[in-house]
Amino acid sequence: MLAMPALDRSIFYPGGSIGFLLIHGLGGTPVELRYVARGLARSRHTVYCPQLAGHCGTEDELRVTTWHDWHASVVEAHEKLRTHCDVVIAGGLSMGAILALHLAAEKPESVHGTVLYAPTLKLDGWSMPWYSRLFRLVTQKWCADLFRFVERHPYGIKDKRFRNLVVEALHSGDSSQAGQFSTPGGTMLELRWLVNELRRELSDIQQPALIFHPRDDDRSSLESNAFYLQRHLGGLVDTIVLDDSYHIVTVDRQRDILVDRSDAFARWLAERHRHAATPPHALEPATAAE
């Protein structure tokens, strides 16, 4: 049985019939999605940001989980959200976006669209350490755990004031606020296995997708991630390239763009869903009675 943190840091805002399932990143926390979640809740959407298995606790608690455990957390959250909403949009930050796409592949009838914030298939940004290239050769957990990926400047955030707050939280020892200061190599290997699974599913994902990705992402490049998804997803894709943010786009300088465009996307999806659910004869103009 998995050792879970004592407190559940999940965020839930009740609202209307449109629901957002927003998933945090690897080693992260629902707090990194709170600003976007609040903005969408103000637009009367229901928003659920679940805490993934093994997160918001110790590094050891994270190390013993697998991507299947994280996915199980997402499935459970999806089932809860479905009881409140007619339209469900799955999304997330970084690895959370990958989990959202995997859920969309598994549940095409109950995930109606995806919003992907700096989706990360490949960690190839300009701030990644030199040994990340060597890590690509690692295929076994025991060897992977010889590596540790430590948070480093600029910590995925371009806004200096907010970056300083995040660095302070990282050094506080409370991982529920800003996530883990370092990620075990075995956990990073689990991410790679999740990505490998998703790559096989991409062409089958027909739901519309909205992607936000920074041009200068310090952790995952625009070409290998957002543009790759744009080329390989099976449905309609709209990609927004951010010009003043780093990787953690949900808290960085252009976070308001995420809120506004995600809200507009949700309303368009809801209208699309309403017309799809309406019988054809109901859309025909009424004729005058003779």
Residue type, 122: K
Token digits for 252? Answer: 């960085």
Task: Give the per-residue SS3 of the chain.
Answer: CCCCCCCCCCEEECCCCEEEEEECCCCCCHHHHHHHHHHHHHCCCEEEECCCCCCCCCHHHHHCCCHHHHHHHHHHHHHHHHCCCCEEEEEEECHHHHHHHHHHHHCCCCCCEEEEECCCCCCCCCCCCCHHHHHCCCCCHHHHCCCEEECCCCCCCCCHHHHHHHHHHHCCCCHHHHCCCEEEHHHHHHHHHHHHHHHCCHHHCCCCEEEEEECCCCCCCCHHHHHHHHHHCCCCEEEEEECCCCCCCCCCCCHHHHHHHHHHHHHHHHHHHHHHHCCHHHHCCCCCCC
C-alpha dist (Å) from residue 49 to 8, 20, 175: 11, 8, 16
Token digits for 175? Answer: 């991982």
C-alpha dist (Å) from residue 183 to 41, 103, 125, 147: 31, 24, 17, 9
Give the C-alpha separation, 24 to 113, whole Å. 17
State residue 178's pLDDT score: 55
Angle, in degrees to the nearest 10, between helices 185-199 and 95-106: 40
State residue 58's pLDDT score: 85
Structural domains of the chain ordered from first start: 11-275 (3.40.50.1820)
CA-CA-CA-CA dihedral for 262, 268, 271, 277, to nearest 10? -80
The mean pLDDT values, 10 residues at a time, for the chain of 290 residues are 63 97 95 97 98 90 94 97 95 98 97 98 90 82 81 87 81 61 87 97 98 97 97 98 97 97 97 72 44
Give the C-alpha separation, 212 to 117, whole Å. 5
Angle, in degrees to the nearest 10, between helices 67-82 and 95-106: 60
Give the C-alpha separation, 244 to 185, whole Å. 30
State residue 288's pLDDT score: 41
The answer to whether the beta carbons of residues 250 and 35 sit under 8 Å apart is yes
State residue 3's pLDDT score: 47
State residue 180's pLDDT score: 67
Tell me the Cα Rg of the chain: 19
Predicted TM-score of the model (pTM): 0.90
Strand order in the sheet with 209-214: 11-13, 46-49, 18-23, 87-93, 113-117, 209-214, 237-242
